[in-house]
Amino acid sequence: MSAATDMSTPILKVEHLSMKFGGLIAIGDLSFEARRGEITALIGPNGAGKTTVFNCITGFYKPSEGMITLTGRDGSQFLLERMPDFQITAKAKVARTFQNIRLFSGMTVLENLLVAQHNRLMKASGFTVLGLVGIGGYARASRESVELAEHWLEKANLVDRADDPAGDLPYGAQRRLEIARAMCTGPELLCLDEPAAGLNPRESLALNALLNDIKDTTGTSILLIEHDMSVVMQISDHVVVLEYGRKISDGDPTFVKNDPRVVAAYLGVDDEEVGEVLTAVGDEHVIHELEGEPDPDHGPSPSSSMMAGPISDTIEQSGDGADRSELVKVSPGASRARIVEEREKAKSALSNALPAPRGGTPDRLTLIKGIGPVNERKLNEHGIFHFDQIAAWKKSDIKAAEEYLAFDGRIAREDWVGQAKSLAKGGADKRGGRK
């Protein structure tokens, strides 16, 4: 394979990856690529499935469905989902670090890097005790291993601590040592699980410098999971965003940072609230993007969502004797979104809905803890305008409201009915603040 072809071929290709634990779908129909010689960041809120993806790539989990293909520099291809974990490291040349530091704290810094090269040393010894006496090829392999370890100690700025116990290093230095140890295995793909977790700004800068040096001098491709957005935006060439096991955005850091689906996922708001959030922070460009069509080059493909509705759909409603059209956007990035038809069912499921507020003036439902302006508007659209209506809700009404609002038990936990009963009895000014 030529150098040009080699560089243009993704080092890692994940296709329709799914991982199920019983009835729980941790990863759903996920597809993305990591380009050769680049840093690809896999980001998303807690519980998005990022570490599960890493576990599938590195052989700790066997995927329920899908393909994970790694293409080496020499053109050889490996189907990682079919390989045992030790072969993924030895043959496919994939190295990994974990969220929690896993060093041999009682061994020296240098010894930690030599341990990573045990495969080479064992092979040089012929898998016999001859290595113990230092004869033949073992002596040469041992010398080369020490030289490689010293090289990565220098890169990680740890030469002065080579003979210190690894457990005595500061936290940031231990992180760099883990990465140096992984590089001693000679990987083509380096997978880092939250390498900047717990680092102070100075340590983060040192980490950034090390990762950029690895990319620029060795050509090693890096796939990292990270919550520190400053690190992601500074060093990543490509960013993939997950939420609840689905890809919601895919592109360069600038695009992803301004993608309203990503804003919604990180702020934990419904799509209808995203515009309000962006207006509050004054990002007019993103507001414009939100109101436009999804970008097919960066957004999820039609097959990337097996657990959510379409990006957008249109439903027809009639009201006040005239037909009107309401565009309802259901984004795969909003985990609480429901299929559009469920909204129509919920509108007729509330037993005490009214066509209009009594006396022409609705109560201020936002006085109930858990009801914000957006949800108040949604309830009004369902014919719920007054505290006594919520106070009279039965279990079926609560279920219908939770399905529409996508709250899944929140109404009962926050006792909306009890709050509404108190407010209906005059515990607060219905149109203003509490008495």
For residue 179, which phi and psi values (nearest 5 degrees)? -65, -40
Within-domain flag for 39: yes
Q: Could you give the C-alpha distances from 380 to 248, 249, 389, in angstroms and in order?
A: 30, 33, 11
Long-range interactions of 338-344: CB distance < 8 A, separation 24+: 338/309, 338/403, 338/404, 338/406, 339/309, 340/309, 340/313, 340/315, 342/403, 342/404, 343/315, 343/404, 344/315
Displacement of CA 201 from its chain's centroid (Å):
22
Question: Hey, what are 271's tokens?
Answer: 């799509």
| Same domain membership, residue 382 and residue 282 | no
CATH code, domain carrying 233: 3.40.50.300
Residue closest to 19 by CA, chosen among 223, 246, 192: 246
- Burial level of 292, CB count in 10 A (0-12/13-18/19+)? exposed
| Number of neighbours of residue 132 by Cβ within 10 angstroms | 9
Say what the pLDDT of residue 288 is. 47
Is residue 268 within 8 Å of residue 306, measured between CB atoms?
Answer: no
| Same domain membership, residue 345 and residue 309 | no
Give the pairing type, strands 65-71 and 39-43.
Answer: unpaired
d(CA 372, CA 386): 15
Within-domain flag for 146: no
| Same domain membership, residue 351 and residue 264 | no
| Same domain membership, residue 375 and residue 267 | no
Q: Could you give the C-alpha distances from 172 to 60, 207, 253, 395, in angstroms and in order?
A: 26, 8, 25, 53
How long a stretch of residues is the chain?
A: 435
d(CA 148, CA 139): 14
| Same domain membership, residue 379 and residue 282 | no
Is residue 294 within 8 Å of residue 311, measured between CB atoms?
Answer: yes
Residue 78, helix vs strand vs coil: strand
Instruction: Give the model confidence (pLDDT) of 45-85 as tens digits.
Output: 888 899 999 999 999 999 999 999 999 998 899 999 999 98
Within-domain flag for 153: no
| Same domain membership, residue 375 and residue 230 | no
| Same domain membership, residue 354 and residue 252 | no
Domain that holds residue 263: 1-93+186-313+331-337
| Same domain membership, residue 252 and residue 214 | yes
Q: What angle do CA 409, 411, 417 make, to 5 degrees?
A: 140
Within-domain flag for 324: no
| Number of domains the chain contains | 2
Displacement of CA 151 from its chain's centroid (Å):
33
| Same domain membership, residue 49 and residue 13 | yes
| Number of neighbours of residue 44 by Cβ within 10 angstroms | 25
Q: Cβ contacts of residue 254 below 8 Å, gap of 6+? A: none
For residue 319, which phi and psi values (nearest 5 degrees)? -165, 145
Within-domain flag for 413: yes
Within-domain flag for 100: no
Region class of 219: left (phi > 0), else alpha (psi between -120 and 50), else beta: left
Within-domain flag for 118: no
Instruction: Give the model confidence (pLDDT) of 251-296 as tens digits.
Output: 999 999 888 888 887 765 555 555 554 454 444 444 444 444 444 4
Give the pairing type, strands 221-225 and 189-193.
Answer: parallel
Question: Tens place of pLDDT for every residue, the chain, 435 residues?
Answer: 444 445 678 999 999 999 999 888 899 999 999 999 999 999 998 888 999 999 999 999 999 999 999 999 988 999 999 999 888 988 999 999 988 888 988 899 999 998 888 767 666 666 566 666 666 666 777 788 889 999 999 999 999 999 999 999 999 999 999 999 999 999 999 999 999 988 898 999 999 999 999 999 999 999 999 988 889 999 999 999 998 899 999 999 999 988 888 888 776 555 555 555 445 444 444 444 444 444 444 444 433 333 333 333 333 333 444 443 333 333 343 343 333 444 445 455 677 888 888 988 999 998 988 787 777 888 888 889 999 999 998 888 888 887 777 666 778 878 899 898 999 887 555 554 433
Sign of the Cα torsion 95, 99, 102, 105 reads positive
| Same domain membership, residue 362 and residue 297 | no
| Same domain membership, residue 355 and residue 247 | no
Within-domain flag for 130: no
| pLDDT, the chain, mean | 78
End position of a domain, from candidates 289, 321, 337: 337
Q: Tell me, what DSSP letter sits at residue 99? A: S
- Burial level of 79, CB count in 10 A (0-12/13-18/19+)? exposed
| Same domain membership, residue 74 and residue 10 | yes
